[in-house]
Structure 1
């Protein structure tokens, strides 16, 4: 595996491939497992992720990297093989979530600041030794008629930039994730408001990245798409794609090698359709791909249902979903392809 940041970033955005976000916290994965009637234990969490990472067709053909939770980075298969080695053997890049979560921001009602910078340099060295070659940090931007405040955007952007600089110092590609919430309260924001907030957030984020001397060629952006709130009118796929690209062209330098979108509360099919529509509007200065968690895993989780005899079924469901996302990353997905599966 190449150790140049630029080369690692280029591998992450290989044409037709994207990221599997398997970095759910222990609390979040417990909710997912509860939903299929499986107790969340070290073994069940390991078995679930092992099922995904050993889906050979999906991992080799459609997945460029996997974002891991710290527990998973150091876990081994039931045969004693590190899960990170399984990912690497499939020609994908192991990555690691390094923030410690969004916490209420003092004096900023309704807004949060993501924590985890203390001790990050030392943790990054340990993660690098364990095989991680990229990392992820999520800043959370609340949206309403009055939020976000400039102060909250600025604080989260600065934290993202400081994290990114520490990653590059450690030989790790930072994925910079400033997420503008689509599913926050009250959920009535218009797509026009979402566009306005996303543009301001990205503009300030790249200003902070420049101030922290972060190499744009050695990073990946993970933004939310420009989408109206869950209780607002439903924008068309075309409008979402056009507005999202308009914001990106205004704010993201061409030196950034790729943009890996989060699904951010969209349905599996919505996330796929929007990505495909954007790629069909190319050519673009950066690669556009996916960094999906639930939108890649939901069908596989249901098919697996925690039963060893269902591993193959879970892997088939994961492979299908990954293939659909791969087609979207090339601008070639069509709705009828879902029915043909």
Structure 2
């Protein structure tokens, strides 16, 4: 995690030929929506860079405002997905791009990719021996080109510390929100999600491809029960009670819940409780015991265990990092 900085965190977005417009717009939208304080100051400055006009995979041309030199000072370098070019065809990469990425990595910049942007990082050698994600539909091609990478084609994103990679399309939104949450806490990330009108978070380990991501008709899926549970996080709620509220057998409810969310009811509920505890730690002065009870985790000991397992810090350290006005 990174503490709030006096100046906006600079993100150099590397724009290459064949860039996917959705992936290019995602960081601008999400990071541009991350704000704080009474004046709603922007927390990130985005610098779009590349070598001249770039042809997108959608058939139109964009011109980055900056050249590759901005990667020399950026705190984060982000590579959106591409659908044409050497990284996704033969493993080649322009030397200037390779050196810009390697130089940024050597000096400690955070390196991020969305979708097939992971092929660019792999072509530069930044993913050798590391876990990484990309879109499942590119698994055979990209996996074959870069066998030294520990690919995971099932998850939404992989956070490997200084290198983060995501699956395609909407998963790029999830990764960007995850970065905002890691940098500035749940309150800021939730605010950015509200401005983007997207869910505030999906766990990185969730499956990319969910068989039935949306209930087939209003009121027939598990969404009403999920909303019911979220209003009762401080109370003990059993799987049987959730299934009863949905008017389903436990077996049917569990199957439909997993189809719609990508996780089991118990896993989902635990993540909601931990997320609520994080928000209470940031936005209130409640004691750790009270936070644990209000989040439905029972005790301060349980909260410490779950927070440590989730983000690797104790409640007191988390509060010191993210408790701030606004």
Same fold (TM over 0.5): no
Structure 1 or 2, whichever has the larger Rg, is: 2
User: What TM-score do you get using the length of structure 2 for normalisation?
Assistant: 0.32
